[in-house]
Amino acid sequence: MKKQILFSILLLFLITSVQAISISELPSTISLNCGEAYYNSFSLTGENISVIPKILGSSIGYTMGVTYHPTSKIIFLSFFQTSACSTGSSTFSFEINGVTKSISLEISEDLWNLGTIAVNKGKRIDIGNIAHLGILEISNSRVQYILSGCGTTEQGLLDEGDTLEAVCSNEAVEINLKSSYGDPFNFAEFEVFSSEAGLTLTSSNDTEIVDPSECILGIDTLGATVRRNSVFAFNTINSNSGKYEPNVIVNVLDQNGDLTPISGTSDNTGFFSKRIHEDYSQDLLIKLFKEGCEPTNKVILFEQSYDDYKKAKGEEEGAFQLVLNMSGKFVLGTAISRTVKNALGEVVEGVNVKITKPDLSSFEVPTNTAGTFSFTPDAVGIWKIQGGLDNYESTRLNEIEVFQNKEYLIVVKVNGEEQYEYKKGDRINFELLENNTLVPLTVDATFGGLPLRFVSGISDPVTFTGTSALSIPAKDGYIPMTITLTEKVTNWSDVWMIGGIILGGMVILILVVAIIKKRKGNTPKSQKMEFQLGNGGSG
pLDDT digits (tens, 9 = 90+) for 189-237: 999 888 776 677 887 766 555 555 678 888 887 666 777 877 888 888 8
If one compares 184 and 366, the residue with the highest pLDDT of the two is 366
Q: What is the DSSP string of 264-305?
A: EE--TTSEEEEEPPTT--S-EEEEEE-TTSB-EEEEE-BSS-
Distance separating alpha carbons of residues 61 and 36, to the nearest angstrom: 12
pLDDT digits (tens, 9 = 90+) for 426-440: 999 999 998 889 998
d(CA 219, CA 231): 16
Is the fold of 20-107 the same as that of 112-305? yes
Cβ–Cβ under 8 Å, residues 291 and 249:
no
State what percent of residues in the chain have pLDDT above 70: 81
Q: What are phi and psi of 67, to 5 degrees?
A: -130, 130
List the chain domain ranges.
20-107, 112-305, 322-403, 409-485
More confident residue, 394 or 27: 394
Query: Which superfamily is assigned to 112-305 in CATH?
Result: Macroglobulin (MG2) domain (2.60.40.1930)
pLDDT per position as a tens digit, 99-116: 788 888 887 666 777 888
pLDDT of residue 10: 44
Please count the other Cβ atoms lying within 10 Å of the Cβ belonging to residue 28: 9
What is the pairing mode between strands 352-356 and 362-366?
antiparallel
Select the more confidently predicted residue: 25 or 247. 247
| Distance, first Cα to last Cα, the chain | 179
12 has pLDDT over 50: no
**Other Cβ atoms closer than 10 A to 254:** 17
CB 111 within 8 A of CB 104: no
Lowest mean pLDDT among 2-16, 285-299, 335-349, 354-368: 2-16
**DSSP output for 349-393:** TT-EEEEE-TTS-EEEEE--TTSEEEE---SSEEEEEEEE-TTSB
Picking from 260, 264, 298, 275, the residue whose alpha carbon sits closest to that of residue 228 is 275
pLDDT digits (tens, 9 = 90+) for 271-302: 888 888 888 877 888 899 998 888 888 887 77
State the Rg of the chain over Cα: 49
At 8, phi and psi to the nearest 5? -65, -40
**Predicted local confidence at residue 54, as pLDDT:** 67
- 322-403 maps to which CATH number? 2.60.40.1930
DSSP 87: S
3-state secondary structure of 496: helix
Q: How far apart are CA 14 and CA 4, in angstroms?
A: 15
Q: At residue 66, what are phi and psi to the nearest 5 degrees? A: -130, 120
The predicted pLDDT at position 2 comes to 43
Which whole-number Å values give the CA distances from 474 to 325, 462, 481, in the listed order? 22, 22, 8
> Which percentage of the chain shows pLDDT scores above 90?
21
Backbone angles phi, psi at 257, to 5 degrees: 75, 15
pLDDT band at 535 (very low <50, low <70, confident <90, very high): very low
Q: What is the pLDDT of residue 150?
A: 63
CA distances, 234 to each of 200, 213, 244, 269, 272 (Å): 12, 22, 10, 11, 6
Average pLDDT over residues 466-486: 87
Q: Does position 536 have pLDDT exceeding 80, yes or no?
A: no
Mean pLDDT of the chain: 79
- Whether the pTM exceeds 0.75: the reply is no
DSSP state of 206: S
Tally of CB atoms within 10 A around 5: 9
| pLDDT in the model for residue 523 | 53
The predicted pLDDT at position 470 comes to 94
Distance CA 418, CA 414 (A): 6
Q: For residue 7, what pLDDT band results from cuts at 50, 70 and 90?
A: very low
Fold of domain 20-107: Immunoglobulin-like (2.60.40)
pLDDT average, residue stretch 359-365:
94
For the ranges 307-316, 443-452, 460-469, which has the lowest average pLDDT?
307-316
pLDDT band at 367 (very low <50, low <70, confident <90, very high): very high
For residue 199, report the phi and psi dihedrals to the nearest 5 degrees.
-75, 150
Query: How confident is the model over 116-159, as pLDDT tens digits?
Result: 888 888 888 888 777 888 888 888 888 988 887 766 678 888 99
Taking each continuous run of H as one helix and of E as one strand, the counts in the chain are: 3, 41
Three-state DSSP class for residue 260: coil
